Amino acid sequence: MANLAFLGLGIMGYPMARNLRQAGHDVAVWSNTAAKAQKLASEFGAVACGTPAQAAANAEAIFLCVGDSAMSEEVLTGKNGVVETAKPGAVVADASTVSPEMSRRVGRALAEKGVHFLDAPCTGSKPGAEGGTLTFMIGGDQKVYEKVKPFLEIMGKQFYYCGGPGMGLHAKLSQNLILANMLQAFNEGMVLCTKAGVDPAQMIEILNNSAAKSGFITFKAPYILNRDFSTNFSTKWMHKDVTLAIDSAEALNIPLPVTSITQQMFRAAIAKGFGEEDLCATIKVMEDWSGIEVKKSTT
Amino acid sequence: MANLAFLGLGIMGYPMARNLRQAGHDVAVWSNTAAKAQKLASEFGAVACGTPAQAAANAEAIFLCVGDSAMSEEVLTGKNGVVETAKPGAVVADASTVSPEMSRRVGRALAEKGVHFLDAPCTGSKPGAEGGTLTFMIGGDQKVYEKVKPFLEIMGKQFYYCGGPGMGLHAKLSQNLILANMLQAFNEGMVLCTKAGVDPAQMIEILNNSAAKSGFITFKAPYILNRDFSTNFSTKWMHKDVTLAIDSAEALNIPLPVTSITQQMFRAAIAKGFGEEDLCATIKVMEDWSGIEVKKSTT
Amino acid sequence: MANLAFLGLGIMGYPMARNLRQAGHDVAVWSNTAAKAQKLASEFGAVACGTPAQAAANAEAIFLCVGDSAMSEEVLTGKNGVVETAKPGAVVADASTVSPEMSRRVGRALAEKGVHFLDAPCTGSKPGAEGGTLTFMIGGDQKVYEKVKPFLEIMGKQFYYCGGPGMGLHAKLSQNLILANMLQAFNEGMVLCTKAGVDPAQMIEILNNSAAKSGFITFKAPYILNRDFSTNFSTKWMHKDVTLAIDSAEALNIPLPVTSITQQMFRAAIAKGFGEEDLCATIKVMEDWSGIEVKKSTT
Amino acid sequence: MANLAFLGLGIMGYPMARNLRQAGHDVAVWSNTAAKAQKLASEFGAVACGTPAQAAANAEAIFLCVGDSAMSEEVLTGKNGVVETAKPGAVVADASTVSPEMSRRVGRALAEKGVHFLDAPCTGSKPGAEGGTLTFMIGGDQKVYEKVKPFLEIMGKQFYYCGGPGMGLHAKLSQNLILANMLQAFNEGMVLCTKAGVDPAQMIEILNNSAAKSGFITFKAPYILNRDFSTNFSTKWMHKDVTLAIDSAEALNIPLPVTSITQQMFRAAIAKGFGEEDLCATIKVMEDWSGIEVKKSTT
């Protein structure tokens, strides 16, 4: 059994770390919220550590899943960060969705200590993390990837090796960019037909039986019809991902006109107070402008 | 067997009319291009007519599928149009994708002569029209719809009764609005990841195995990778449909920010000379701005 | 003195017609609202007519200023329209802001009767109409323009001959497109700095002393600071003009990305109920999103 | 005479520093390009220093004008930066156009050493810097501002004290946001009327005599008509400023829909290779889409 580390024990990270531990590996864990590490230690036998550096000290593979680029950089290369203790030859795989530019910078800093680095963002949300059925998109050296693949296979089911450093992130951000636009397209189409007089539930049935069908909308639509905006993936986090995609596009000199307007509509949703709600709450901005609600008919 | 009429024998209309005839009905046909009506007469036994009015004179049900709102209005209520000869009690079902406002106006004009009217736009493209597997969205009086349903069932396989006059069109336009935005979202996501260094073929594989999967993009993506922009559904026609959706939104006082930018990007594609190509040629506007092509790797 | 006609006696048309009459000409007038024609007759000695055709019958020059393209087309070429009675050699000059395409169509219809046609949209609002200080942009035959110029000089002070049919309208629409975008730019800049903490009155002072100074904003800004949205030029009419500009751009195959978003923001203002207020009320859409008001400090 | 420092000797900084020196003050200067500091030393008697820290060591007031937020932060709080040597009670006034958030962070870092900080961005371009006629917008403590005002009056002519830390920058960014949108509005209006057939030189004359007149466009338009895109203020720098404004709006939760599309159009101009040209080169993106050029008629 291997010595592993897992840093960041949020909605995603906690079950991912637990799955590694339950597969029999020794897992040193650290979280911003110490109680989470303690819980994982007391209930599943992980080793709770006080800093990322402590958790990383003996690990052959170090995984992390944190909220944004600044946290990832801090955990890996900041004070008491992984870079201070990680062994030469160890592999760090970052499952966070962060800036590809930042990720490459961190990778170079770790490389100076002989530590390998992969970007390995994932999709699948909470259920995927809990069930070990995540999809990973990986960037970095392919041989390094092969070394940690057995561990990733405990946490996920589908794997795409996308190329050199940052390529996993670029794939992930492009996917989320498409999802965000898809949702705003749905929002605009639904307020239009609903205000015109089409029953929104029927419109969704039509979409679900058409070329416009998409897994994302098929999943989200019933929540909207039922006015259930409890958070699965928040407006705020999708806004963050779209902003990362646009920042990457800026670095690559690519204008993204439709995506930039989708970003502003997500920002409007945040401004109107829906940032912590599920991203399908973005439809409320369109509804406010239209004077109707997209909901199940009560008749 | 019934006396029917079919007006407009384009890529969609010709096989739709042929299917009605091959089901055993007497079909009087008219086309802007007389040769098409003659062909349907000589090869399949339809009756070629010189004007819409002549074709409609004896029909109990009159179908049409023409290119735009102006043509539909002309064929139905213009000089030598259906309104001049259609029998009281006859049903006109318009399968064209046109303005809901125009459609309701035409319906009122026909109603003054005791002629019933349905909007019945369809999806399924050429293969659907040829195979009799179209999807119809119907607006108008439900009893009137029941009367012509047996004929529609010769041409299509799926039917959605959407409500009063114009509701079929509103459903269709909202669907196409979503498809157009979905395509532009795909275009923006693909140039971004491709320029960043991700292999576009792999990105499409990732999308096809994710929540971002949609029938439309799964179908279109290989054509883009193969740089095959031969027309299935042209940029020009999709631009027309998006414009109809935006015009409807204007009538209903609904702003559609993302859709309006998608419309402008389709317009840019037309301006750059891709109007007659398949709508997936819209990606070339993004490629021109990005300096890359989204195509199969040649290695 | 000449026999003239003036059709459409709204906020602009009434004082324009009155000025022609007060210059000593015989003016036959018609208005949708008969009382306005009567008033001009009883108070100033114009001749009130029951239809545009009657007003036009003896005129050597016929002017009109109506609200939109449909009205203009109806007054000129509809039933009881100018085309029915205007004398060969007469000149029609349309001061309405309407579709250049419609305007050219009307011009061709009049030409068939030997009647000359100019598009002659104007700027200057109510004060310009009352004081005879309007600016006219003229399209059509230059010799025809020279014939009616003496009459235009009674109503206006500045004249731009812009070229063939429709060119006056194209110039006018491009100017209003720029004004609308300028206002939305101002709206966005003002909510940004105000929410950041800059005093909006000071920001406007800064703008008024910078390269960003424009007559339009300098004039409008104090109304916004004072929350006075009483109508000078309504949101609804500017939305109409921007839509005409975008329709023209569609006919010419030109995408207008920023203008199309400005249009949607004006549409949002209409959707929120500000359509009849002055166009500077559009800032309220941005304020609703920002949670602040751009107003004079009360301290 | 006072001991001053000036850091950053680019197009703006060089003449600003020279003006301080020519007013009789002792000026220690530093530039990324050592030759510029040497030139100012040999020709005008400034003291060339090897690092910002050296230049700042004896100064009672320290001015800087550098290219972006990262440079400003580096010069002030990085290695060999001002913070290392500046005397308690000294005043740093940053004339660079940078992020208000960064600026406040730097101000706090300097405050810990007892050093005062003002944001003091300016407008007026090269001629304003050379002639000492710049406009300054100042944020920070008003008493601190009063202390350095005599020095600012050597470099500028107009002064706006805008409030606490960052307020000068917020005012400046809002102004540039408006200018950028104004230019894109002009670009869209000009390609529209030019393609329609209006002479662009006449259109500009019309604008210059209308409410749409603005100092910025009146100044820039002749360069466009003459196809002279030599750089006064580059597309790249305006794109940077618009991006700073949008980043500020993000921090304040304000969506800026039109500005975000203007940003993307500037980005398209950079992508097409016009980043180093004057910002009026942005019109070439619209021209490419329209198939025409906005230029002086050659007939």
pLDDT band for position D299 (50/70/90)?
A: low
Asked if A208 and B160 touch (Cβ cutoff 8 Å), the reply is no
Please state the ipTM of this predicted complex: 0.96
The answer to whether residue C256 neighbours chain B at the CB level (below 8 Å) is yes
Question: Is residue B25 exposed (0-12), middle (13-18) or buried (19+ Cβ within 10 Å)?
Answer: buried
Q: What is the mean pLDDT of residues D26-32?
A: 97
pLDDT at C1: 87
Residue D45 banded pLDDT, cuts 50, 70, 90: very high
User: Letter for the amino acid at B224?
Assistant: I
- Catalytic residue (one of D36, D39, D172, D284): D172
Q: Tell me how far apart the alpha carbons of residues B158 and B173 are, in angstroms, rounded to a whole number.
A: 17
The helix or strand, by DSSP H or E, that contains position B29, with its residue range, turns out to be strand B26-30
CA atoms within 13 A on the CB side of B252: 27
Angle formed at CA D247 by CA A110 and CA C298, multiple of 5 degrees: 145
Q: What is the pLDDT of residues A230-253, one digit of tens each?
A: 998 999 999 999 999 999 999 999
Under a CB-based contact definition with an 8 Å cutoff, are residues C252 and B268 in contact? no
pLDDT at position C297: 85
Nearest beta carbon to residue B178 from set A166, A171, A207: A207
C268 touching chain B per CB within 8 A: yes
Chain centroid, CA A48 distance in Å: 24
Q: How confident is the model at residue A4 (pLDDT cuts 50, 70, 90)?
A: very high
* B100 chain-A contacts, CB cut-off 8 A: 196
Give the residue ranges of DSSP H helices in chain C.
13-22, 34-44, 52-56, 69-77, 100-111, 125-131, 142-155, 167-196, 200-208, 215-225, 235-251, 257-271, 283-290
The CATH homologous superfamily to which domain A170-290 belongs is: N-(1-d-carboxylethyl)-l-norvaline Dehydrogenase; domain 2 (1.10.1040.10)
Neighbours of chain A (3+ CB pairs under 8 A): B, C, D
| Domain limits, chain B | 3-164, 170-290
CA atoms within a 13 Å half-sphere pointing along the CA-CB vector of B167: 21
Chain Cα centroid distance, residue B250: 21
Q: Which residues of chain B have a pLDDT value below 50?
A: none
Q: Tell me what the mean pLDDT of segment A85-99 comes to.
A: 98
pLDDT digits (tens, 9 = 90+) for A177-227: 999 999 999 999 999 999 999 999 999 999 999 999 999 999 999 999 999
DSSP letter assigned to residue D254: -
pLDDT at A299: 63
Q: Nearest-CA neighbor of D122 among D111, D131, D113?
A: D131
- Closest CA–CA distance from residue C216 to any residue of chain B (Å): 25
B260 to chain C nearest CA, in Å? 6
Q: Do A255 and D267 touch (CB under 8 A)?
A: yes
- Mean pLDDT, residues A144-165: 98
Confidence check: pLDDT of A298 > 90 = no
Mutate to test the interface with B, among C235, C252, C260 (most CBs of B within 10 A): C260
Separation between Cα atoms, residue C177 and residue C67, nearest integer Å:
18
Pairing of strands B156-163, A47-48: unpaired
Q: How many angstroms separate the CA atoms of B246 and B234, rounded?
A: 19
How far apart CA A123 and CA A104 sit, in angstroms, is: 21
Give the span between the Cα atoms of D82 and C111, in whole angstroms: 77
Q: Which residues of A touch B264 (CB under 8 A)?
A: 257
pLDDT, position A297: 85
Chain A residues with CB inside 8 Å of D256's CB?
A: 264
Backbone phi and psi for residue D124, each to the nearest 5 degrees, phi listed first: 130, -10
- Mean pLDDT value across residues D269-297: 97
Question: Cα distance from D35 to chain B (closest Cα, Å)?
Answer: 37
Residue B268 three-state SS: helix
CA B274-B278-B282 angle, 5° bins: 55
Catalytic residues of A: 172
pLDDT computed for residue B1 by the predictor = 87
User: In chain D, pLDDT over 90 holds for what percent of residues?
Assistant: 98
SS3 label, residue C197: coil
Distance CA D182, CA A37 (A): 54
C-alpha span between D183 and A72 (Å, rounded): 40
C257 touches chain A (CB under 8 A): yes
Q: Measuring CA to CA, how many Å separate B257 from each of A176, A263, B242, D27, D266?
A: 20, 11, 12, 53, 19
CB contact under 8 Å between A253 and D243, yes or no, is no
Q: What is the DSSP string of C78-123?
A: STT-GGGTPPTT-EEEE-S---HHHHHHHHHHHHTTT-EEEE--EE
Token duo for residue A102: 């930042």
Is the CB of D263 less than 8 angstroms away from the CB of A267?
no
Tokens matching residue A169: 């992130």
> Which of the residues in chain C have pLDDT under 70?
299
The per-residue pLDDT for range C107-125, each reduced to its tens digit, is 999 999 999 999 999 999 8
Cβ <8 Å between D175 and C167: no
pLDDT tens digits, one per residue of D50-103: 999 999 999 999 999 999 999 999 999 999 999 999 999 999 999 999 999 999
In this complex, which of B253, B257, B264 lies closest to C270 when CB atoms are compared? B253
Whether residue C294 contacts residue C203, with contact meaning beta carbons closer than 8 Å, is answered with no
* Per-residue pLDDT band at D297 (split at 50, 70, 90): confident
The token duo for A294 is: 């997209």
Q: What is the pLDDT of residues D96-123, one digit of tens each?
A: 999 999 999 999 999 999 999 999 999 9
Reported in sequence order, the residue ranges of D116-266 that DSSP labels E, i.e. its strands, are 116-119, 122-123, 134-139, 156-163
Name the DSSP class of D148.
H
Pairwise CA distance, residues B165 & B20, whole Å = 24
pLDDT, tens digit (0-9, with 9 covering 90-100), for B226-274: 999 999 899 999 999 999 999 999 999 999 999 999 999 999 999 999 9
Q: Which runs of consecutive H residues, i.e. helices, occur in chain A?
A: 13-22, 34-44, 52-56, 69-77, 100-111, 125-131, 142-155, 167-196, 200-208, 215-225, 235-251, 257-271, 283-290
Span D178-187, mean pLDDT?
98
| Subunits in contact with chain C (3 or more CB pairs closer than 8 Å) | A, B, D
* Per-residue pLDDT at A65: 98
Q: How far apart are CA A239 and CA A287, in angstroms?
A: 19
Q: Give the pLDDT confidence score for residue B286 in this predicted structure.
A: 98
Per-chain mean pLDDT for chain D: 97
**Does pLDDT of A109 surpass 80?**
yes
Separate counts of helices (H) and strands (E) for chain B: 13, 9
Q: Residues near A187 by Cβ (< 8 Å), separated by ≥ 6?
A: A265, A282, A283, A285, A286
CA–CA distance, D84 with D61 (Å, rounded to integer): 15
Q: Which of A105, A260, A288 is the best substitution to test chain D (most D C-beta atoms within 10 A)? A: A260
Pull the structure tokens for residue D205: 């004359």
CATH number of this structure's domain C3-164, picked from the four choices 3.10.310.30, 3.30.1050.10, 3.40.50.720, 3.10.330.10: 3.40.50.720
